Amino acid sequence: MSIIEVEKLTKYYGKSRGIVDVSFAEEEGEIFGFIGPNGAGKSTTIRLLLSLIHPTSGSARIFGKDVTTHGPEIRRDIGYLPSEVFYYEGMRVIDLLKYSASFFDRDCTQRMKELSDLMELELNRRISDLSYGNKKKVGIVQGLLHSPKLLFLDEPTSGLDPLMQRKFFDLIREENRRGVTVFFSSHILGEVQRLCTRVAIIREGRIVEVSNIRTLQQNNYKKISVTAEGLGNSFVQIPGASNLQTENGTVNFFFKGDINTVLQRLNGVQVTDVTIEEPTLEEIFMHYYE
Amino acid sequence: MNTNIYRHELHIRWKSVFTWSVALAFLIVFFFSIFPAFAKDADLLNQMMAKFPPEMKAAFGLDSMDMSTVLGFFSLIFLFVQLCLSIQAGNYGFGLVSVEEAELTADFLLTRPVSRWGILTSKLLAVLTSMIVTDLVVWASTFLAILLFNDGRAYEISPLLLLLVSILPFQLFFLSVGLVVSLLVKRIRSVTPYSLGLGFGAYVLSAFSGVFGEAKLELITPFKHFDAAAIVQNQAFDTPLVLLNVAVTLISVAASYWLYKRRDIHAVS
């Protein structure tokens, strides 16, 4: 069953573009990556799905229900971690968490404690005294304490130190194993690559590609690096090679096509070292943005 | 209606309610404590007042007040009480939803499983409670002040009750107008300039309407809808004006619900 179904969702802020004709579907149990640079429309999409803003046209359904008409019902099973967290400054952490829990018709005490321990959160401090990273931790606990079925993460790792980031990713994987569907928006491709099964790439408000992370990498360029003597620029002649760079006797290039043509070409050469790699998502991504 | 939001709203506002209530109680009691001195030299005072330019007297509503009577004197104090209440109610109205948007906590609240209707209703009820608490303090301090310092002079209870009853619809006007204006503009960075503007603006309109003898301005300012001097003098409300006041309030509240349901909550930046 599709947990999120988005159809031709469009949002204009007055005349300025938010998103245009965005369509995709996320299946139950997926970790779905949503990548694009700042200003591409990632947050706009999430805010539309949470009905914080209203679509100009198009529609979106979560758990099979329309987000504009069934918002409160849908949000019972949604957790949301915004990119920047803001809470009532005068409150203590524990009060904020309890206030958040009070909106849900289930007992969240146990989970709240588990998560706070895991995130090493000091419950008795005032929100206003917390550092940015600590506020972020409050956000994580707050987003998960009611055991949601669907998680929206909007650039969740900003402000977390590497150690916490790892804990956080483990936590998300753990949640996912328990059946939680995750919608993960980010402009850091490494983390999307580590976590997600499928990705949608958004650019200037439009989806340019929705695909499996594997296929995205496979159907794409190979990254080839050859170290050999007297190689010269002979590789330029191979059809499908691009971005050729020569450095200290090492030739780097991207290649798309039948890999055998490269291997044949290498056959007669005394080679010191060869690597043929999948490009990182980052490199694929740049390709979409050229 | 969500009791958790209601409680939260009461909690964040109680300091403000406390401060306003204490300030108003002091204003009423201390101001009225000079009544005996005033009343003693009432003739002298009235003679002096007669020499004031009529425009000035009109601006303070002094032209129809007899300062030597309990209610005449009280209606002058009541004008200041109204001014304070209008600013307080304006604060609550302008800030009801805009503060959460300015401090960016709206994201948190609106991603809870509650409807916008539920949020606004809970917030309005919490503010209503806050204002009623203030009113009770105003009522109590009024009775206390008059009891202590009436100088043995008789007064009628019914116009006094009318004045005190008028407080709530008076506040609701500023609350609802503040709310609807806050929803009509894109963002309110600071609430106080708006509430001071609305409060003093309404007061000045009422004062000027006295100066120019212009009747039209009465229609839009609650200081005229619930003109203390007139209520004391006529021992009755001006029914059409009160109805107008209530109508504006109801329309503002209805429009607020309509606007809030459709409002886009924008992200940081």
Same-domain pairing of A50 and A193:
yes
Nearest to B171 by CA among B93, B254, B74, B76: B93
Q: Using N-to-C axis directions, what is the helix angle for A109-118 and A162-177, rounded to 10°?
A: 140
The confidence score (pLDDT) of residue A164 equals 87
Residue A221 has pLDDT above 80, yes or no: no
The confidence score (pLDDT) of residue B55 equals 73
Residue that terminates a domain, selected from A202, A217, A232: A217
Q: Which of B107, B122, B269 to probe the A interface (max A CBs under 10 A)?
A: B107
- What mean pLDDT is predicted for residues A80-103? 90
Nearest chain B Cα to A139, which residue?
B108
Q: What is the DSSP letter of A162?
A: H
Q: Which of residues 221-240 of A touch B (CB under 8 A)?
A: none
When mean pLDDT is compared across A41-50, A76-85, A204-213, the lowest value belongs to A204-213
The confidence score (pLDDT) of residue B268 equals 64
Residue that terminates a domain, selected from A162, A195, A217: A217
In the structure encoding, which two tokens stand for residue A128, read together?
């206003």
Nearest to A112 by CA among A91, A96, A88: A96
Which range marks the domain in which residue A243 is found?
220-289
Nearest to B123 by CA among B34, B211, B1: B1
> 3-class SS at A178?
coil
A164 in Cβ contact with A130 (< 8 Å)? no
pTM: 0.85
Neighbour tally for B18: CB within 10 Å: 14
More confident residue, B36 or B122: B122
Q: What CATH number does the domain containing A253 carry? A: 3.30.70
Nearest to B41 by CA among B156, B158, B151: B151
Nearest to B93 by CA among B11, B19, B180, B7: B180
Same-domain pairing of A191 and A264:
no
Q: What CATH number does the domain containing A88 carry? A: 3.40.50.300
- What mean pLDDT is predicted for residues A55-74? 93
Q: Which of B8, B105, B113 is facing A75, going by the closest CB pair?
A: B113
- What mean pLDDT is predicted for residues B131-158? 90
- Band (B163; pLDDT cuts 50, 70, 90): very high
**Amino acid at position B212, single letter:** F
Q: What is the DSSP letter of A272?
A: E
The count of domains in chain A is 2
Same-domain pairing of A104 and A52:
yes
Percentage helix, strand, coil for chain A under 3-state DSSP, each rounded to 5: 35, 30, 35
- What mean pLDDT is predicted for residues A189-194? 79
Same-domain pairing of A149 and A244:
no
Residues of A in contact with B114 (CB under 8 A): 72, 75, 103
Is B12 an interface residue toward A (CB < 8 Å)? yes
Q: What is the dihedral of CA B211, B212, B213, B217, to 10 degrees?
A: -100
Nearest to B47 by CA among B31, B33, B68: B68
Same-domain pairing of A241 and A266:
yes
Size of interface A-B (CB pairs under 8 A): 63
Q: Return the bridge partners of A6, or none.
A: A24, A60
Q: How do residues A239-269 score in pLDDT, each as one tens digit?
A: 777 777 777 778 888 887 777 888 887 777 7
- What mean pLDDT is predicted for residues A25-37? 90
Same-domain pairing of A81 and A138:
yes
The confidence score (pLDDT) of residue B231 equals 87
DSSP per-residue string spanning chain B: --HHHHHHHHHHHHHHHHHHHHHHHHHHHHHHHTHHHHHHTHHHHHHHHHHS-HHHHHHTT-TT--TTSHHHHHHHHHHHHHHHHHHHHHHHHHHHHHHHHHTT-HHHHHTSS--HHHHHHHHHHHHHHHHHHHHHHHHHHHHHHHHHH-TT----HHHHHHHHHHHHHHHHHHHHHHHHHHHHSS--S-HHHHHHHHHHHHHHHHHHHHHHT-SGGGGT-HHHHT-HHHHHHHTS--HHHHHHHHHHHHHHHHHHHHHHHH-------
The confidence score (pLDDT) of residue A282 equals 66
Summary mean pLDDT of chain A: 86
Residue that terminates a domain, selected from A168, A201, A217: A217
- What mean pLDDT is predicted for residues B99-125? 92
Q: How far apart are CA A224 and CA A243, in angstroms?
A: 11
- What mean pLDDT is predicted for residues A128-143? 90
- Band (B60; pLDDT cuts 50, 70, 90): low
The confidence score (pLDDT) of residue A235 equals 65
Q: Do B113 and A43 touch (CB under 8 A)?
A: no
Q: Which of A52, A71, A99 is facing B8, going by the closest CB pair?
A: A99
Same-domain pairing of A93 and A12:
yes
Q: Residue B49, CB half-sphere, CA atoms under 13 Å: how many?
A: 18
Predicted-complex ipTM score:
0.85
CA gyration radius for chain A?
23
Same-domain pairing of A83 and A127:
yes
Q: How far apart are CA B108 and CA B47, in angstroms?
A: 62
A175 in Cβ contact with A9 (< 8 Å)? no
The values of phi and psi at residue A273, to 5°, are -155, 140
**Amino acid at position B93, single letter:** G
Q: Do A86 and B114 touch (CB under 8 A)?
A: no
Q: Do B104 and A78 touch (CB under 8 A)?
A: no
Residue A88 has pLDDT above 80, yes or no: yes
In the structure encoding, which two tokens stand for residue B158, read together?
């019914």
Residue A66 has pLDDT above 80, yes or no: yes
Same-domain pairing of A58 and A151:
yes
Neighbour tally for B33: CB within 10 Å: 12
When mean pLDDT is compared across A205-209, A234-238, B221-225, the lowest value belongs to A234-238
The confidence score (pLDDT) of residue B90 equals 95
Same-domain pairing of A278 and A179:
no
Q: Return the bridge partners of A66, or none.
A: A61
- What mean pLDDT is predicted for residues A59-71? 92
Same-domain pairing of A211 and A266:
no
Q: How far apart are CA B199 and CA B204, in angstroms?
A: 9
Q: How far is CA B204 from CA B60, B172, B198, B220, in A?
A: 10, 19, 10, 12
Nearest to B88 by CA among B151, B1, B160, B27: B27
Residue B269 has pLDDT above 80, yes or no: no
The values of phi and psi at residue A241, to 5°, are -90, 145
Q: How far apart are CA A117 and CA B172, in angstroms?
A: 46
Is A78 an interface residue toward B (CB < 8 Å)? yes
The domains of chain B are located at 3-262
